[in-house]
Structure formats: structure tokens, C-alpha cells
């Protein structure tokens, strides 16, 4: 049986999406991340604005895949590199609303990710040795994730 422990809530603020266009792999987009915050029992702080981004791909089957890289800066000024891949999909009418930046009920679509962490800060070294998963929802200003440690 897999058990999960809440690690933190992550809120990201994004710039307007850059449309690359239809490539051989699908519709390629880039979403620059302009900041954000995270908070949990063991860590809290803000998301550095640059460099940070989400390299999105809308596959031909309509599934949106995420490839995100960002830096978390803890309140004690320790830095943590966070990267994750994930996917978002749902009924076409829900996905159309999300693409337009409209709010929709979080339970009306699938939005999951698998984050990885790297840090040199001894107090957060536990992150270097864990598997994590997350669930998310998309607001007009950006995504919010609940990140969990897999025990």
C-alpha cells in the first residue's frame, strides 16, 4: 500500500503563453513562470521568477503534457531546484475553458505531476532522496498543486 504525506502547496503565477505552433509532436507552447509561493509544515518560501518555465505540448490526442523547471527559495534563503513532468486532460469543453484562462471545477479534469528535487542545503537533503506526486488545478493566474511525499 502506498502512503502519502503532504509536503507543500505550490502556487505559480504565469505570464501569457507563447505559442510555438504545431510541430511534429503536437501543439507546442511555452508558459513563462513569473513567480509564486509554496508552503508546508517542513518548508515554505517563494518561487524565483527567472529562469523558470513550463514547456507544454498538446498531443494529437488532446492530452496536455507539462515539462517544468523552477527554483524554490525557502524562507531561510536555501535554494531547491524543482522539475516535474505531468499531464492534464478532460472533456473538450472543460479543456477549451482552461485554454481560454477561465475557471473550471478542479474535479472536472485530470491534472497530475511527478516532481523531483535537488538541493545542497543540508536541512532539505531529505528532498534529494524522495519520490513525490502532486495533483493540481488551474486558475486564470496559474496552477496550484498539492505536493505529496510518497512514503
**Phi, psi for 116 (deg, rounded to 5):** -130, 150
Decide if pLDDT at 74 tops 90. yes
pLDDT on residue 148? 98
Q: What is the CATH number of domain 4-150?
A: 2.40.160.20
pLDDT on residue 103? 83
Average pLDDT score over residue span 5-16: 95
Contact in structure between 91 and 110 (CB atoms under 8 Å): no
pLDDT band at 141 (very low <50, low <70, confident <90, very high): confident
Decide if pLDDT at 139 tops 90. no
Q: Tell me which DSSP letter residue 108 carries.
A: G
100/120: higher pLDDT: 120
Strand, helix or coil at 106?
helix
Decide if pLDDT at 140 tops 90. no
CA distance 19 to 30: 7
Domain ranges of the chain: 4-150
pLDDT band at 19 (very low <50, low <70, confident <90, very high): very high
pLDDT on residue 151? 96
Provide the whole-model pTM. 0.93
pLDDT band at 132 (very low <50, low <70, confident <90, very high): very high
**Phi, psi for 93 (deg, rounded to 5):** -65, -35
Decide if pLDDT at 98 tops 90. no
Which are the contacts of 13, defined by CB distance < 8 A and separation ≥ 6? 33, 34, 35, 36, 141, 142
pLDDT on residue 95? 87
CA distance 28 to 36: 23
Radius of gyration from C-alpha coordinates of the chain? 15
Amino acid at each position: 500500500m502506498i502512503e502519502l504525506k503532504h509536503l507543500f502547496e505550490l502556487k505559480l503565477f504565469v505570464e501569457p503563453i507563447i505559442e510555438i505552433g504545431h510541430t511534429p509532436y503536437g501543439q507546442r507552447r511555452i508558459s513563462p513562470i513569473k513567480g509564486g509561493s509554496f508552503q508546508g509544515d517542513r518548508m515554505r518560501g517563494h518561487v524565483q521568477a527567472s529562469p523558470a518555465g513550463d514547456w507544454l505540448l498538446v498531443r494529437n490526442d488532446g492530452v496536455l503534457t507539462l515539462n517544468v523547471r523552477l527554483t524554490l527559495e525557502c524562507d531561510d534563503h536555501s535554494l531547491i531546484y524543482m522539475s516535474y513532468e505531468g499531464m492534464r486532460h478532460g472533456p473538450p469543453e472543460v479543456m477549451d475553458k482552461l485554454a481560454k484562462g477561465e475557471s473550471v471545477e478542479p474535479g472536472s479534469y485530470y491534472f497530475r505531476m511527478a516532481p523531483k528535487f535537488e538541493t545542497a542545503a543540508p536541512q532539505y537533503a531529505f528532498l534529494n532522496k524522495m519520490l513525490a506526486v502532486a495533483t493540481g488545478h488551474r486558475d486564470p493566474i496559474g496552477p496550484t498543486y498539492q505536493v505529496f511525499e510518497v512514503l
